[in-house]
Structure 1
Amino acid sequence: MRMTRLIATLTATTVFASILVFAAQADEVHVLNWKGYGADEPWAVEAFEKATGNKVVNDFFNSEQEMLTKLRTNPGLYDVVMINAAFNDQAMSEKLIQPIDLSKIPNAADISPDKASSPMLNHDGKAYGVPWVWGLTALAINDKSFDTPPASISVMWDEARKGRVVIRDDAVEAIQFGAIATGQNINDIKDMDAVKAKLTSLMPQIRTFWSSENDWNQMVASNQIDVGTYWSGSADRAKTQFKLPVSLVIPQEGSVAWLDAFSIPVGSKNVAGAEAFINYMIDPKFYVEWVTKVGAPVSANEKAVAALPEESFNRKVMGDPEVAKRIQFQAPITDEQREKYLALWQELKVNVK
């Protein structure tokens, strides 16, 4: 009898301890995102934690494929994940993310209608992603290397820039860049041979391939490069936060555009905390501070963009209707297309010494 009581006591204690552990975990918001991309800014994390009582735990990925793999192999670990909208459909179809109750995210009401209604984020009347920011993969230049910024994408092929050109080591982005350079639609490439030929002729120009902001910024800081593909928000951060001689160029031929959104993974242990975190990330107050202190892409929240100074790049240039005509937003691609792009990209990279 005494042993039975002891077992019962131990069992009750174990259950109580488990409840305490779960409660502690439920107050944590586990976020999966690119490193240095808003969600892990120390001042932002501190403000969110102070306002909500939730503790932010950040984890990072270096590619969309790595992000998907982390979701697949760690079910229930993450509460918030940042997903390029072009990959949202795949994450949804694999049941990696769950529908979001937008009524629990008040700031979502101020997201621009075209972003909020994106078919890449909405399925069967349910939202699987909350638009956060959008931007471009355009060109960025080393200001020290140009008297006046180039207007055309052809600067990448300029013999005078040989060995001082960089491009991101990403098959999809590279192929889409080649499509723009050959006057094609990035989401409906009709002449892949033309893309291959164009990129083949670019390879002798390439100094190296980059995969992170730090790679790009270190090369321009040491004056090793003149020009290369770069993300608009990264170029803004390079100039704003690191005071580097970097300027973004949106070539006349156009640029690849992308939309990033926050989703809630299936199995999230803190959905309420996830909703609060997403709401904070799309808040105009956070966004203006992010742009001012660090540099950022364009907010999907119309009120956030309107809160920027009229002459700010993200409001004046990125909001210019003429610029809008030249950009092409990435759409989802099939696994078969991705495999073909990867095979071609691997073949092309062999020619870079």
Structure 2
Amino acid sequence: MKNTFVRKISTALVTLGLVAGPALADGQVNILTWEGYADASFIKQFETESGCKVSATYVGSNDDFAPKLAAGGNVYDIITPSLDTTYTMVDAGFVEPLDTSKITEWNNIYEKFRKSAGINKDGVTYGMPYAWGAIAFMYRVDKFPTPPTSIADLWNEQYKGKVSLWDDKSAIYVAARLEGNTNIYELNDAQIEQAKQKLIAQKPLIRKYWATAGELVDLYVAGEVWISNTWAGYQSAQIKAKGIDVKEFIPKENAEGWLDSWMIVKDTPNKDCVYKFLNMQSSELGQCGVANVNGYSAANPVAAKKCMKPEQYDALHQDDPAYLDSLMLWRNLGERLEAYTNAWNAVKAAN
């Protein structure tokens, strides 16, 4: 049964008349995705070889997918939500089953990912795993004589006005771990309230809640932020390229792990280009494309090994299942999704 949050989304879309299939042009792929997933460094080659034009719109949070799909008037062919959001897309009727027989590299994708409950429901597969990594933490090396090792450093009064946190419901996960609640995807009402109050107490220390990768990069480069959480690999590389020495770390309270998967928007007429796109993204071109641009790990280790140097392959934990298992991999929140989302919104609204 759909959870209450999903039912509200579906009802709203029906009321607005936005659940009809998209009317898109042939020979193109319109994607709703994360920064770097449609980078020109590999997309241009795909467009030349496939004859399919790629148009990308970017999100800053998994909470953006549902409203953007609605507000955009169904102009998207394919999306890349993370594991904690995939069921919402399925239950709201936004996406359709994936024909894995049309994806040449399907069986080379990590089995752990292919069989993940996040992309499989009632015996049907809805997503193609693409990239994965950690929601690590990051700091400016010149501002920390003693390297931080705990989430608690983001609550340290010494860094007032120099702290940033991702504008996402996963902030509840961060605060919950700091409070000693490690069952971060199954928090009860009291635990969610505890995390919410912890985040409200932190607000005077926050310079800004960052919404996009580029925004956090700019905050570090301008000297406005010294410590934050981060999409491991991507933002730190951009900051270092601008001459600012930053370092990522996994705190003693652990870090979340994420997996992004491509999902096909229901009734898209651009199936031919969509499957060409999926085949590119699961191949060497797409897998090393995202690794080189974003610094993320690839879902297809076979393709990754063919296009990565050994040192890059090792650095991205491509042959290290224990690293992935050590992370708190995001999960669908089910009926609890609305409670987490409401708590985070309450934090942002608090004075």
Q: TM-score range by the shorter chain?
A: 0.7 to 0.9
1:276 is aligned with what amino acid? Answer: K
- Partner residue of 1:182? 179
Task: State the shift of 1:48 in Å.
Answer: 0.2
Gap change, CA 1:122 and 1:201, over 3 Å in 2: same
SS in 2 for 1:44: helix
Structure 1, unmatched stretches of 5+, are 1-23
Gap change, CA 1:318 and 1:149, over 3 Å in 2: farther
Aligned pair partner of 1:56 in 54, 57, 66: 54
Distance (Å, rounded) in 2 between the aligned partners of 1:316 and 1:55: 30
- The correspondence of residues 3-152 of structure 1 with structure 2, limited to 5 A, is 25-34=25-34, 36-39=35-38, 41-72=39-70, 77-147=75-145, 149-152=147-150
User: Which shifted more, 75-84 or 257-266?
Assistant: 75-84
The answer to whether the 8 A contact 1:30-1:58 is kept is yes
2:79 is aligned with what amino acid? Answer: V
SS in 1 for 2:207: strand
Q: Which has more radius of gyration? A: 1
The answer to whether the 8 A contact 1:98-1:128 is kept is yes
CA RMSD for the aligned pairs? 2.6
The answer to whether the 8 A contact 2:62-2:82 is kept is yes
- Partner residue of 2:343? 344
- Partner residue of 2:330? 330
Q: List 4+ stretches of structure 1 deviating above 6 A.
A: none
Distance (Å, rounded) in 2 between the aligned partners of 1:113 and 1:321: 11
SS in 1 for 2:105: helix
1:177 is aligned with what amino acid? Answer: V
Distance (Å, rounded) in 1 between the aligned partners of 2:173 and 2:187: 8
Distance (Å, rounded) in 1 between the aligned partners of 2:145 and 2:319: 26
Distance (Å, rounded) in 2 between the aligned partners of 1:116 and 1:317: 18
SS in 2 for 1:118: coil
TM value normalised by structure 2? 0.82
SS in 2 for 1:235: helix
Deviations 1:212-270 (A, max 9, x none): 11221111101111101111143344246555423221112111221110011112111
SS in 1 for 2:340: helix
Name the count of aligned residue pairs: 324
The answer to whether the 8 A contact 2:79-2:262 is kept is yes
1:223 is aligned with what amino acid? Answer: G
1:55 is aligned with what amino acid? Answer: K
1:297 aligns with 2:296: yes
Over the matched positions of the two proteins, sequence identity in percent amounts to 25
TM value normalised by structure 1? 0.82
Distance (Å, rounded) in 1 between the aligned partners of 2:276 and 2:122: 24
Structure 2, unmatched stretches of 5+, are 1-23
Distance (Å, rounded) in 1 between the aligned partners of 2:157 and 2:313: 30
